[in-house]
Amino acid sequence: MRAVLDQDATLTAGLTIGPDGQHAVLLVGSERLHPGQAEELARWADALSDAAKVARIATIAGYGRTDDGRGYLLTRVQPSLSDQLRLMGQPTPEQARNIVALIADALATAHSYGIVHGAVSPTTILTDPHGVLLGGFGATAPSLAAPLGLWALTPPEHRPAALAGEFAASVAGDVFSLAASMCVILAGSLPWADPATWADIADLPSRPDAPPWALAVRDALSADPDQRPNAEEFAGALRDPENVSLVEFPGVKVDLRSLIPRQVGRLSAFSTEAMAGDEAPATGRARPSGHLSGSSIRVHSTVRDTT
Protein backbone atom coordinates (compact mmCIF):
# COMPACT_ATOMS: atom_id res chain seq x y z
CA MET A 1 0.00 0.00 0.00
CA ARG A 2 1.66 3.21 -1.16
CA ALA A 3 -0.63 5.73 0.51
CA VAL A 4 -3.55 5.51 2.94
CA LEU A 5 -6.67 7.20 1.56
CA ASP A 6 -9.08 6.56 4.41
CA GLN A 7 -9.34 4.54 7.60
CA ASP A 8 -12.07 3.76 10.10
CA ALA A 9 -13.14 0.97 12.44
CA THR A 10 -14.26 -1.20 9.51
CA LEU A 11 -11.46 -1.00 6.98
CA THR A 12 -8.44 0.79 5.59
CA ALA A 13 -8.34 2.07 2.01
CA GLY A 14 -5.08 2.78 0.27
CA LEU A 15 -3.54 3.42 -3.10
CA THR A 16 -1.46 0.60 -4.56
CA ILE A 17 -0.41 -1.02 -7.84
CA GLY A 18 -2.59 -3.79 -9.23
CA PRO A 19 -1.46 -7.03 -10.89
CA ASP A 20 -1.65 -5.35 -14.30
CA GLY A 21 0.73 -2.56 -13.22
CA GLN A 22 -2.06 0.03 -13.04
CA HIS A 23 -2.90 2.11 -9.97
CA ALA A 24 -5.65 0.59 -7.86
CA VAL A 25 -7.46 1.10 -4.57
CA LEU A 26 -6.98 -1.60 -1.94
CA LEU A 27 -9.68 -2.10 0.70
CA VAL A 28 -8.59 -4.15 3.72
CA GLY A 29 -10.95 -5.10 6.54
CA SER A 30 -9.96 -4.19 10.08
CA GLU A 31 -10.91 -7.53 11.63
CA ARG A 32 -10.12 -11.12 10.79
CA LEU A 33 -12.76 -12.94 8.79
CA HIS A 34 -15.05 -15.24 10.71
CA PRO A 35 -15.72 -18.79 9.45
CA GLY A 36 -17.55 -18.62 6.15
CA GLN A 37 -16.89 -14.95 5.48
CA ALA A 38 -14.02 -15.60 3.08
CA GLU A 39 -16.27 -17.87 1.03
CA GLU A 40 -19.05 -15.26 1.10
CA LEU A 41 -16.67 -12.58 -0.15
CA ALA A 42 -15.43 -14.92 -2.88
CA ARG A 43 -18.96 -15.73 -4.06
CA TRP A 44 -19.83 -12.03 -4.16
CA ALA A 45 -16.65 -11.08 -6.03
CA ASP A 46 -17.06 -13.93 -8.52
CA ALA A 47 -20.68 -12.90 -9.20
CA LEU A 48 -19.59 -9.29 -9.72
CA SER A 49 -16.80 -10.41 -12.05
CA ASP A 50 -19.29 -12.47 -14.07
CA ALA A 51 -21.63 -9.46 -14.28
CA ALA A 52 -18.72 -7.29 -15.46
CA LYS A 53 -18.21 -9.63 -18.42
CA VAL A 54 -21.62 -8.76 -19.85
CA ALA A 55 -22.26 -5.22 -18.60
CA ARG A 56 -20.47 -1.92 -18.13
CA ILE A 57 -19.24 -2.72 -14.63
CA ALA A 58 -15.74 -1.96 -13.39
CA THR A 59 -13.77 -5.18 -13.03
CA ILE A 60 -12.19 -6.34 -9.79
CA ALA A 61 -8.41 -6.62 -9.88
CA GLY A 62 -8.22 -8.98 -6.91
CA TYR A 63 -9.83 -10.14 -3.67
CA GLY A 64 -9.24 -12.64 -0.89
CA ARG A 65 -7.77 -12.90 2.58
CA THR A 66 -4.56 -11.32 3.86
CA ASP A 67 -1.87 -13.32 5.62
CA ASP A 68 -3.31 -12.27 8.96
CA GLY A 69 -6.84 -13.31 7.97
CA ARG A 70 -8.50 -10.04 6.97
CA GLY A 71 -10.61 -9.66 3.84
CA TYR A 72 -9.43 -7.43 1.02
CA LEU A 73 -10.72 -6.09 -2.30
CA LEU A 74 -8.64 -4.50 -5.05
CA THR A 75 -10.27 -2.19 -7.63
CA ARG A 76 -8.64 -0.21 -10.42
CA VAL A 77 -8.39 3.56 -10.33
CA GLN A 78 -10.36 5.43 -12.99
CA PRO A 79 -11.63 9.02 -13.28
CA SER A 80 -15.19 9.51 -12.08
CA LEU A 81 -18.06 11.19 -13.86
CA SER A 82 -18.08 13.70 -11.01
CA ASP A 83 -14.52 14.68 -11.96
CA GLN A 84 -15.53 14.99 -15.60
CA LEU A 85 -18.52 17.17 -14.78
CA ARG A 86 -16.35 19.43 -12.69
CA LEU A 87 -13.86 19.82 -15.54
CA MET A 88 -16.16 19.80 -18.58
CA GLY A 89 -19.51 21.01 -17.28
CA GLN A 90 -22.95 19.55 -17.93
CA PRO A 91 -23.59 17.35 -20.98
CA THR A 92 -26.65 17.80 -23.17
CA PRO A 93 -29.87 16.11 -22.00
CA GLU A 94 -29.42 13.55 -24.79
CA GLN A 95 -25.91 12.71 -23.58
CA ALA A 96 -27.12 12.52 -19.99
CA ARG A 97 -29.87 10.11 -20.97
CA ASN A 98 -27.37 7.89 -22.76
CA ILE A 99 -24.99 7.88 -19.79
CA VAL A 100 -27.67 7.03 -17.26
CA ALA A 101 -29.24 4.39 -19.52
CA LEU A 102 -25.88 2.60 -19.72
CA ILE A 103 -25.50 2.70 -15.94
CA ALA A 104 -29.09 1.50 -15.52
CA ASP A 105 -28.18 -1.45 -17.75
CA ALA A 106 -25.20 -2.16 -15.50
CA LEU A 107 -27.39 -1.97 -12.41
CA ALA A 108 -29.96 -4.30 -13.95
CA THR A 109 -27.24 -6.85 -14.65
CA ALA A 110 -25.78 -6.56 -11.16
CA HIS A 111 -29.24 -6.97 -9.64
CA SER A 112 -29.84 -10.06 -11.76
CA TYR A 113 -26.68 -11.54 -10.21
CA GLY A 114 -27.98 -10.80 -6.74
CA ILE A 115 -25.70 -7.81 -6.16
CA VAL A 116 -26.95 -4.52 -4.71
CA HIS A 117 -24.78 -1.43 -5.14
CA GLY A 118 -25.79 0.84 -2.26
CA ALA A 119 -23.82 3.97 -3.24
CA VAL A 120 -24.74 4.99 -6.79
CA SER A 121 -23.66 8.58 -7.46
CA PRO A 122 -21.70 10.59 -10.05
CA THR A 123 -18.60 9.61 -8.08
CA THR A 124 -19.17 5.86 -8.47
CA ILE A 125 -19.89 6.25 -12.19
CA LEU A 126 -16.48 5.92 -13.82
CA THR A 127 -15.24 7.12 -17.18
CA ASP A 128 -12.95 5.39 -19.65
CA PRO A 129 -12.08 5.90 -23.33
CA HIS A 130 -15.03 3.73 -24.34
CA GLY A 131 -17.73 5.37 -22.24
CA VAL A 132 -18.85 4.90 -18.65
CA LEU A 133 -18.65 2.10 -16.10
CA LEU A 134 -20.33 1.51 -12.76
CA GLY A 135 -17.86 1.10 -9.91
CA GLY A 136 -17.99 1.54 -6.16
CA PHE A 137 -19.52 -1.86 -5.40
CA GLY A 138 -17.21 -2.15 -2.41
CA ALA A 139 -19.81 -0.22 -0.42
CA THR A 140 -21.78 -3.47 -0.05
CA ALA A 141 -18.94 -6.02 -0.25
CA PRO A 142 -19.33 -8.81 2.35
CA SER A 143 -17.05 -8.35 5.38
CA LEU A 144 -16.12 -4.87 4.11
CA ALA A 145 -19.53 -3.17 4.10
CA ALA A 146 -20.57 -0.79 6.87
CA PRO A 147 -23.38 1.75 7.37
CA LEU A 148 -22.86 4.76 5.12
CA GLY A 149 -24.93 7.02 7.29
CA LEU A 150 -27.24 9.72 5.97
CA TRP A 151 -26.15 11.32 2.70
CA ALA A 152 -27.62 13.47 -0.04
CA LEU A 153 -28.82 10.51 -2.15
CA THR A 154 -30.23 8.38 0.68
CA PRO A 155 -33.56 6.87 -0.50
CA PRO A 156 -36.46 7.82 1.79
CA GLU A 157 -37.04 4.22 2.90
CA HIS A 158 -33.41 3.95 4.08
CA ARG A 159 -33.43 7.13 6.16
CA PRO A 160 -34.43 5.42 9.45
CA ALA A 161 -31.59 2.89 9.12
CA ALA A 162 -29.11 5.60 8.14
CA LEU A 163 -30.07 7.73 11.14
CA ALA A 164 -29.78 4.69 13.42
CA GLY A 165 -26.31 3.82 12.12
CA GLU A 166 -27.53 0.61 10.50
CA PHE A 167 -26.65 -0.78 7.10
CA ALA A 168 -29.30 -0.48 4.37
CA ALA A 169 -29.17 -1.02 0.61
CA SER A 170 -31.73 -2.30 -1.88
CA VAL A 171 -32.52 -2.71 -5.56
CA ALA A 172 -35.15 0.05 -5.42
CA GLY A 173 -32.77 2.27 -3.48
CA ASP A 174 -30.17 1.90 -6.25
CA VAL A 175 -32.72 3.11 -8.81
CA PHE A 176 -33.57 6.13 -6.64
CA SER A 177 -29.90 7.08 -6.29
CA LEU A 178 -29.33 6.71 -10.03
CA ALA A 179 -32.30 8.95 -10.83
CA ALA A 180 -31.03 11.55 -8.37
CA SER A 181 -27.60 11.26 -9.98
CA MET A 182 -29.19 12.02 -13.33
CA CYS A 183 -30.50 15.27 -11.88
CA VAL A 184 -26.94 16.18 -10.90
CA ILE A 185 -25.68 15.25 -14.38
CA LEU A 186 -28.37 17.39 -16.00
CA ALA A 187 -28.23 20.46 -13.79
CA GLY A 188 -25.14 20.34 -11.62
CA SER A 189 -27.08 19.99 -8.38
CA LEU A 190 -29.83 17.96 -6.79
CA PRO A 191 -33.45 19.06 -7.31
CA TRP A 192 -33.85 19.42 -3.54
CA ALA A 193 -30.74 21.58 -3.19
CA ASP A 194 -30.70 25.35 -2.87
CA PRO A 195 -32.72 26.71 -5.84
CA ALA A 196 -30.02 29.35 -6.30
CA THR A 197 -27.84 26.65 -7.83
CA TRP A 198 -30.33 26.20 -10.67
CA ALA A 199 -29.26 29.08 -12.93
CA ASP A 200 -29.84 29.47 -16.68
CA ILE A 201 -32.52 26.81 -16.59
CA ALA A 202 -34.55 25.42 -19.46
CA ASP A 203 -37.84 24.57 -17.76
CA LEU A 204 -39.54 21.27 -18.46
CA PRO A 205 -43.33 21.44 -18.63
CA SER A 206 -45.24 19.81 -15.82
CA ARG A 207 -47.07 16.53 -16.15
CA PRO A 208 -48.60 15.38 -18.48
CA ASP A 209 -46.63 17.43 -21.02
CA ALA A 210 -43.15 16.47 -19.84
CA PRO A 211 -41.20 14.10 -22.10
CA PRO A 212 -41.37 10.42 -21.11
CA TRP A 213 -37.76 10.34 -19.94
CA ALA A 214 -38.41 13.14 -17.45
CA LEU A 215 -41.48 11.30 -16.13
CA ALA A 216 -39.33 8.18 -15.76
CA VAL A 217 -36.94 10.16 -13.56
CA ARG A 218 -39.90 11.37 -11.50
CA ASP A 219 -41.20 7.82 -11.07
CA ALA A 220 -37.74 6.56 -10.10
CA LEU A 221 -37.67 9.21 -7.36
CA SER A 222 -40.99 8.09 -5.89
CA ALA A 223 -41.15 8.01 -2.09
CA ASP A 224 -42.67 4.52 -2.38
CA PRO A 225 -40.01 2.03 -3.55
CA ASP A 226 -42.75 -0.27 -4.90
CA GLN A 227 -43.81 2.47 -7.32
CA ARG A 228 -40.37 2.89 -8.87
CA PRO A 229 -39.37 1.20 -12.13
CA ASN A 230 -36.67 -1.41 -11.87
CA ALA A 231 -33.30 -0.66 -13.44
CA GLU A 232 -34.18 -2.39 -16.71
CA GLU A 233 -37.45 -0.48 -17.02
CA PHE A 234 -35.68 2.78 -16.20
CA ALA A 235 -33.12 2.18 -18.94
CA GLY A 236 -35.89 1.40 -21.43
CA ALA A 237 -37.79 4.57 -20.59
CA LEU A 238 -34.66 6.67 -21.10
CA ARG A 239 -34.20 5.10 -24.54
CA ASP A 240 -37.85 5.32 -25.63
CA PRO A 241 -37.84 6.49 -29.27
CA GLU A 242 -40.75 8.80 -28.50
CA ASN A 243 -38.60 10.69 -26.04
CA VAL A 244 -37.83 14.26 -26.98
CA SER A 245 -35.31 16.64 -25.50
CA LEU A 246 -36.25 20.28 -25.23
CA VAL A 247 -32.65 21.42 -25.50
CA GLU A 248 -29.78 19.70 -27.28
CA PHE A 249 -26.85 21.97 -26.62
CA PRO A 250 -24.42 22.14 -23.67
CA GLY A 251 -24.56 24.79 -20.99
CA VAL A 252 -28.33 24.69 -20.52
CA LYS A 253 -29.50 23.17 -17.26
CA VAL A 254 -32.71 21.17 -17.12
CA ASP A 255 -35.11 21.81 -14.26
CA LEU A 256 -36.83 18.68 -12.94
CA ARG A 257 -37.96 20.21 -9.65
CA SER A 258 -41.61 20.48 -10.64
CA LEU A 259 -41.68 16.70 -11.18
CA ILE A 260 -40.13 15.69 -7.85
CA PRO A 261 -42.64 14.27 -5.32
CA ARG A 262 -43.05 16.75 -2.45
CA GLN A 263 -42.41 14.17 0.26
CA VAL A 264 -39.15 13.14 -1.38
CA GLY A 265 -38.11 16.76 -1.80
CA ARG A 266 -38.72 17.56 1.86
CA LEU A 267 -36.94 14.47 3.20
CA SER A 268 -33.99 14.76 0.85
CA ALA A 269 -33.60 18.48 1.48
CA PHE A 270 -33.32 17.67 5.17
CA SER A 271 -30.69 15.02 4.41
CA THR A 272 -28.63 17.50 2.41
CA GLU A 273 -28.96 20.25 5.01
CA ALA A 274 -28.11 17.86 7.85
CA MET A 275 -24.80 17.05 6.25
CA ALA A 276 -23.67 20.50 5.15
CA GLY A 277 -19.97 20.87 5.75
CA ASP A 278 -17.29 18.24 6.14
CA GLU A 279 -17.68 17.17 9.76
CA ALA A 280 -17.43 13.46 10.54
CA PRO A 281 -20.73 11.55 10.69
CA ALA A 282 -22.23 10.72 14.05
CA THR A 283 -22.76 7.10 13.08
CA GLY A 284 -21.52 4.67 10.49
CA ARG A 285 -18.68 4.88 8.02
CA ALA A 286 -17.60 8.22 6.59
CA ARG A 287 -20.27 8.63 3.96
CA PRO A 288 -20.64 10.20 0.54
CA SER A 289 -21.01 13.83 1.47
CA GLY A 290 -24.11 15.88 0.78
CA HIS A 291 -21.98 18.96 0.21
CA LEU A 292 -22.55 20.29 -3.29
CA SER A 293 -19.73 22.03 -5.07
CA GLY A 294 -20.22 23.36 -8.57
CA SER A 295 -21.25 20.50 -10.82
CA SER A 296 -20.21 17.65 -8.54
CA ILE A 297 -21.03 15.89 -5.32
CA ARG A 298 -17.92 15.56 -3.22
CA VAL A 299 -17.67 12.08 -1.78
CA HIS A 300 -15.57 11.05 1.19
CA SER A 301 -16.04 7.31 1.60
CA THR A 302 -16.64 5.98 -1.87
CA VAL A 303 -13.26 7.30 -2.95
CA ARG A 304 -12.12 4.00 -1.58
CA ASP A 305 -13.70 2.20 -4.46
CA THR A 306 -13.47 4.64 -7.31
CA THR A 307 -10.66 7.15 -7.00
CATH number for position 137: 1.10.510.10
* 185 shares a domain with 71: no
The per-residue pLDDT string of the chain (307 residues; one tens digit each, 9 = 90 and over) reads 888 888 878 888 888 988 888 888 899 999 999 999 999 999 999 999 999 999 999 988 899 999 999 999 998 888 899 888 888 877 877 888 899 999 999 999 999 999 999 999 999 999 988 889 999 998 899 988 877 788 888 899 998 898 888 889 999 999 999 999 998 888 777 777 655 444 444 455 555 566 778 888 889 999 899 999 999 999 999 988 766 655 454 445 566 666 676 667 666 665 555 544 433 333 334 343 322 222 222 222 222 333 3
Q: Tell me the C-alpha to C-alpha distance, in Å, between residue 175 and each of 107, 120, 155, 190, 303.
A: 8, 8, 9, 15, 21
* 26 shares a domain with 143: no
Calpha distance 75→188 (Å, rounded): 27
Domain boundary pick from 31, 57, 76: 76
* 35 shares a domain with 19: yes
Domain boundary pick from 51, 76, 101: 76
Residue 271 belongs to domain spanning: 81-306
Q: Please count the structural domains in the chain.
A: 2
CATH number for position 17: 3.30.200.20
Pairing of β 292-293 and β 296-297: antiparallel
Domain boundary pick from 76, 108, 138: 76
* 230 shares a domain with 252: yes
DSSP secondary structure code for residue 295 in this structure: T
pLDDT at 206: 54
* 257 shares a domain with 143: yes
Q: How far apart are the first and last CA of the chain?
A: 15
pLDDT at 285: 41
* 44 shares a domain with 174: no
Secondary structure E strands in the chain: 3-7, 11-17, 23-32, 60-65, 70-76, 125-128, 131-134, 201-203, 253-255, 292-293, 296-297
For 104, how many CA atoms within 13 A lie in the half-sphere containing its CB? 28
Calpha distance 245→70 (Å, rounded): 50
* 114 shares a domain with 96: yes
Calpha distance 84→100 (Å, rounded): 15
* 106 shares a domain with 70: no
For 7, how many CA atoms within 13 A lie in the half-sphere containing its CB? 8
* 109 shares a domain with 60: no
* 14 shares a domain with 159: no
pLDDT at 99: 94
- Cβ–Cβ contacts within 10 Å for residue 274, how many? 14
Q: Please tell me the total number of residues recorded for the chain in this structure.
A: 307
> 56 and 132 in contact (C-beta within 8 Å)?
yes
